[in-house]
């Protein structure tokens, strides 16, 4: 066995980790508690985005670690091909009781990308087994993000992430996302993009007989910086999908599991998708876990014909990850954390409005404990920065330096330009921690302005 070289500089190529960036160093986190993370030097970071929108419950919850460890001692892994297991059964039952309408069948996987891929395949399989093989196209919103597998990336509008892989990607049908700040309709009550009626036009152009599914984030995630669709949007989408016989997949990987103040974001719209996908906060980060939710109605043609889903993975339904999900969901319920998220949301958004008076802030929006802050070079014209400035990345690095974790996104304004950061603190965040978060945001903005020499 080779000896391990100890290093205190965690950057490529100093250690054996292939880091996500090969050009910068990474602080090494050794502990987390509530909304805070601590690195090995003792520096404290306020986890303002729960990492990648994952740490909904807060860090360092030992009850969850104990439940997972107990399950691991009983049995950590069995294959879902041969067996079921206690945590998978109990987690599915818990989720069925929390989910709206008929969504009471759950398929467990280890990442949001895998789960969206499985949901899209399930939609396609539904139509094939129904005897409608011509239905294969997927309509997806722009901007949106659905994952990093080749098909979910194909259905996403992340041009930078797609760049190297274009020859491997497949074409999707794109439709502008509800994104009021950049729509240009000035609040027109019948704007097709903002009301959702645009889907009718897109289906007419594509021919309903060739379309299998429509996929959309119920409330925007990183890609539109937490843009919130109008109240009628998802009911309109539901009606159109029914009329043209499309399956609607609600991607709630980022906004589900309580993030917007209710267990699912879609229940606030009084409309029911055919499939709903959860991930990220479902386990609060205590294991890698995602889930596809659907119903007997959608599964009926598959149950009648082939009898099994054509998407399987080694870790689907694995006990240790389902145990983490079960522990997280029970902890959320026992501590009323979704209610806490909902009741803290007005304070969170009110305090964030203080940032509105600062330079280069174009818009602040969101729902629940999710907010997007969009930066612009010209506030009146909503003109984005030149991408060469790397405003969002510079801001995120400045925030980290100041002790705050935020999630940056680029490219939403026109495919290439656009800079924003999202905030999604753990549901246990207190009012004083929100004050600290807001103060660190303005500090990070000032550092960014200085570093980029903006006037």
Ligand X SMILES: Cc1ncc(COP(=O)(O)O)c(C=O)c1O
Residues near ligand X (CB under 6 A) are 52, 111-113, 116, 145-148, 217, 221-222, 251, 253-254, 279
Query: Is 154 or 448 the residue whose CB approaches ligand X more closely?
Result: 154
| Shortest CB 220 distance to ligand X, Å | 9
Which residue is it, tokens 């901007």?
Answer: 143
- Looking up tokens 């960014």, which residue turns up? 448
Is residue 85 within 8 A of residue 76, CB to CB? The reply is: no
Our CB check for ligand X shows the closer of 35 and 292 to be 292
Nearer to ligand X, 146 or 317 (CB): 146
Q: By beta-carbon distance, which residue lies closest to ligand X?
A: 112
Q: How far is the CB of 130 from ligand X (least distance, A)?
A: 26
**C-alpha to C-alpha distances, 236 to 184, 242, 243, nearest whole angstrom:** 21, 10, 11
Q: Which is nearer to ligand X, 113 or 448 (CB)?
A: 113
Q: How far is the CB of 301 from ligand X (least distance, A)?
A: 26
- The CA distance from 30 to 42, in Å, is 9
What does the alpha-carbon distance between residue 333 and residue 339 come to, in Å, rounded to a whole number?
Answer: 9
Output 265 or 445, the one with its CB closest to ligand X: 265
Taking the complex as a whole, how short is the minimal distance between the CB of residue 120 and ligand X, in angstroms? 11
Nearer to ligand X (CB atom), residue 251 or residue 274: 251
* Helix, strand, coil abundance in the chain, percent, nearest 5: 40, 15, 45
* Cβ at position 119, least distance to ligand X in Å: 10
Sign for the pseudo-dihedral over CA of 271, 89, 254, 50: positive
Q: Can you list the positions of beta strands (E) in 110-239?
A: 137-142, 173-176, 211-217
Closest to 217 measured CA to CA, from 252, 183, 246, 178: 252
Question: In this complex, which beta carbon is closest to ligand X, that of residue 80 or of residue 256?
Answer: 256
- Collapse the DSSP code of 194 into the 3-class scheme (helix H, G, I; strand E, B; otherwise coil) and give the result: helix
Closest CA to 278 of 303, 257, 261, 302: 257
Site of tokens 């993370």: 37
Cβ 438 vs Cβ 69: under 8 Å:
no
At its nearest, how many Å lie between ligand X and the CB of residue 66?
25
Closest separation between CB of residue 415 and ligand X, Å? 18
CB of 137 to ligand X, least distance (A): 20
Q: Smallest distance, Å, CB 145 to ligand X?
A: 5
Name the token pair of 252: 């709630």
Nearer to ligand X, 34 or 229 (CB): 229
Could you check whether the bond before residue 294 is cis, i.e. omega within 30 degrees of 0?
no
Q: If DSSP codes are grouped into helix, strand and coil, which group holds residue 125?
A: helix
Q: Are 287 and 72 in contact (CB under 8 A)?
A: no
Comparing CB distances to ligand X, the nearer of 128 and 405 is: 405
- Tell me how many degrees the CA angle 366-367-371 measures, rounded to the nearest 5: 35
């Amino acid at each position: 066995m080779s000896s391990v070289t100890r290093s205190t500089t965690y950057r490529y190529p100093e250690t054996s980790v292939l880091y996500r960036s090969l050009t910068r160093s990474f602080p090494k986190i050794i502990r987390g508690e509530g909304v805070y993370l601590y690195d090995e030097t003792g520096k404290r970071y306020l986890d303002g985005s729960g990492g990648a929108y994952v740490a909904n419950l807060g860090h360092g919850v030992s009850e969850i670690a104990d439940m997972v460890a107990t399950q691991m001692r009983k049995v950590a892994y069995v294959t879902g091909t041969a067996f079921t297991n206690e945590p998978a059964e109990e987690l599915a039952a818990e989720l069925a009781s929390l989910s709206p309408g008929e969504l009471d069948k759950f398929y467990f996987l280890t990442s949001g990308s895998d789960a969206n891929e499985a949901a899209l395949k399930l939609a396609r399989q539904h139509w094939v087994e129904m005897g409608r093989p011509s239905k294969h196209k997927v309509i997806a919103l722009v901007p949106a993000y659905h994952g990093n597998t080749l098909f979910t990336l194909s259905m996403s509008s992340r041009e930078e992430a797609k760049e190297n892989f274009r020859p491997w990607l497949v074409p999707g049908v794109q439709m502008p996302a509800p994104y009021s700040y950049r729509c240009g309709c000035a609040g027109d009550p019948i704007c097709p993009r903002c009301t959702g009626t645009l889907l009718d036009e897109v289906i007419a152009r594509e021919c309903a007989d060739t379309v299998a599914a429509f996929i959309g984030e119920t409330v925007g995630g990183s890609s539109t910086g937490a843009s919130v669709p109008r109240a009628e949007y998802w009911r309109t989408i539901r009606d159109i999908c029914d009329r043209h016989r499309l399956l609607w997949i609600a991607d709630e990987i980022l906004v589900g599991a309580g993030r917007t103040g209710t267990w699912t974001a879609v229940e606030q719209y009084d409309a029911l998708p055919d499939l709903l996908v959860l991930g990220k906060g479902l386990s609060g980060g205590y294991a890698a876990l995602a889930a596809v939710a659907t119903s007997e109605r959608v599964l009926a043609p598959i149950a009648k014909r082939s009898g099994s889903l054509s998407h399987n993975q080694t870790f689907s339904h694995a006990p240790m990850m389902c145990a983490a999900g079960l522990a997280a969901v029970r902890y959320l319920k026992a501590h009323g954390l979704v209610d806490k998220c909902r009741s803290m949301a007005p304070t969170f958004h009110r305090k964030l409005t203080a940032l509105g008076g600062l330079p280069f802030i174009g818009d602040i929006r969101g729902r629940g404990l999710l907010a997007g802050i969009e930066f612009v070079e010209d506030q009146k014209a909503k003109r984005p920065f030149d991408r060469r400035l790397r405003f969002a990345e510079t801001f995120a690095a400045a925030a980290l330096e100041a002790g705050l974790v935020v999630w940056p996104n680029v490219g939403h304004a026109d495919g290439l330009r656009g800079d924003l950061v999202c905030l999604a603190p753990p549901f246990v965040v207190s009012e004083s921690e929100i004050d600290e978060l807001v103060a660190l945001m303005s500090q990070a903005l000032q550092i960014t302005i200085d570093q980029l020499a903006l006037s």
